[in-house]
Structure 1
Amino acid sequence: LLAFHIQKDKEIFKKYHLKSIKNIETLNSKFEIPVIVEERLKYANSVWFNLDVQFRVRLFIDKQIRKYFERKPLRGQSIIGEDKDGSIEIEIKISNNMEILPLILYYIPYIKVLEPQSLADEIKDRVQGYLKEI
């Protein structure tokens, strides 16, 4: 469940897990969904999205997993390049690393972060941390 919590001229965007909501009350009040919320929901790839900031992510997709990104593209995904070997480069907009991070970890070693460097570094740190523990 997505909701706005309005406090003295400040709107806070909140996300709730439906299973954990209790004591629901039905009210007679109505509301309109702001245009920015509608627009961001069109491109959200997970509940981790944020209304405030978006940034571009460029990913290298190896030919072995290319078909998965063509069959079911991520929301807002664009194929921006194709190599002779069949691999592709895609670009998406996200607002939180967690929107894409689990997917990248799932497809290692067939996917690589090209940009932003901060996301590539986070992936590298997580993988190195994991390897140290096993």
Structure 2
Amino acid sequence: MAKKKAIFGKKSKGNKTRERRYESHKSQIVKLFIILSQRGYVRVKDLERELEIGERSAQRLVRPLKVQGMLVEDETDRGRLNFNRDHYSFAKTHVSDQDASTLAFLYKFSKVFGGQISESVLKSIDKFFVVEGEEYPYFVITSRVNQPNTQMPFYSDLYASIQQKNKIMLTYDSAGAEKTVKAWPIAFLMSDGMWYLCYLLEPEGSKKQEIRTIRYGHIKAVKALPDETFVKPDWVKPALKEARNIWFNGNRCQKVVLEADNCIKDYFKLSEYFPLQKIVSEGPKSFRIELTICHPLEVVPNIMRFIPYIRVIGPSSLRGEVRDRVKQWLTD
């Protein structure tokens, strides 16, 4: 069933009316499924009476379920719609082995997130089928959270502010001192096993806004500002999609050329380690990669990872930074 989109922002009378309708529709859907789980069937006339809605509203409520095959007409009892138990179950949704394996993979992988986000994913998947105790062919090897049940402070306020596009007063630790700024919260961001808050600062004059990230553990206080909303700039979404670590913003303009030995080519054909990464030429011993970055630290960590099989062709400033890091590592 297609979801009706909730409208956030400054609450006009029209918005409030739409929100009330949306909440009413959600309530009707929940009640419909309660009826189906208890009886195994439903009638439009019964819905009109029990949900206190008109015939057209009741028909609209059951129509998507009929289209999906979840409700089928009773062949002997006119007007009765039976829950299709052959293909659907309230206890556990029917899924194929492939579906189950894929969802189990996501289930296991979500445990690295920790806190409320991990709980949210686990609970959502667990509504559909049993995972624990079953054998599946997918495994993921990654860094693990030492205390996966640790709750993330301020999560509820931040989640609501991100969803409703409300500004916040954000207090965080900056080099041992607390700093407070007015911010536009954009997203929770996980990078290298750590959670960050991605946000924009409140605009100041003609100064261009840039995406900022703060490690979640450095956040000291969050004050939601429900009466102040913002409009997320269009460039934010593509900037997030192109990011490969936390060192990014909307000004992606520096071209970089790398050369790597063919023994690591598979890595770069299968995965994007750098933003806008593209293999531009391939030779008998090596291949070249072009990319576009916002900040040197978008690429330096992964360049260091693949040394000695990768080299910086340009720009010279990046080549010098990598050379200095290697020298420091060798002398320390």
TM-score range (shorter-chain normalised) is 0.7 to 0.9
Q: Kindly indicate whether residue 298 of structure 2 is the aligned counterpart of residue 99 of structure 1.
A: yes
Aligned residue identity for 1:3: Y
**Counterpart for residue 76 of structure 1:** 276
**Structure-2-length-normalised TM-score:** 0.37
Aligned residue identity for 1:83: G
Alpha-carbon distance, 1:53 to partner: 5.2
Q: Kindly indicate whether residue 237 of structure 2 is the aligned counterpart of residue 34 of structure 1.
A: no
SS at match of 2:222: coil
Relative to structure 2, which stretch is displaced further, 12-21 or 122-131?
12-21
SS at match of 2:224: coil
Relative to structure 2, which stretch is displaced further, 72-81 or 16-25?
16-25
Which structure 1 segments of 5+ residues have no match?
none
Where has structure 1 moved over 4 Å in runs of 4 or more? none
Task: State the identity %.
Answer: 33
**Structure-1-length-normalised TM-score:** 0.85
Structure 1 or 2: more helix by fraction: 2
Which structure 2 segments of 5+ residues have no match?
1-196
Alpha-carbon distance, 1:21 to partner: 1.6
1:43-94 C-alpha deviation (Å, 9 max, x unpaired): 2221111334520111112111111111112341111111123x32111111
**Counterpart for residue 105 of structure 2:** none
Structure-2 change in CA distance of 1:121 and 1:35 (3 Å): same
CA contact (8 A) 1:37 1:51 kept: yes
Q: Kindly indicate whether residue 217 of structure 2 is the aligned counterpart of residue 22 of structure 1.
A: no
Output the CA distance in 2 between the equivalents of 1:121 and 1:7: 35
Alpha-carbon distance, 1:11 to partner: 5.0
Q: Aligned pairs, how many?
A: 132
Kindly report which structure 2 residues correspond to 1:101-120, keeping only aligned pairs within 5 A, or say none. Answer: 101-120=300-319
**Counterpart for residue 51 of structure 1:** 250
Alpha-carbon distance, 1:95 to partner: 0.9
Structure-2 change in CA distance of 1:47 and 1:118 (3 Å): same
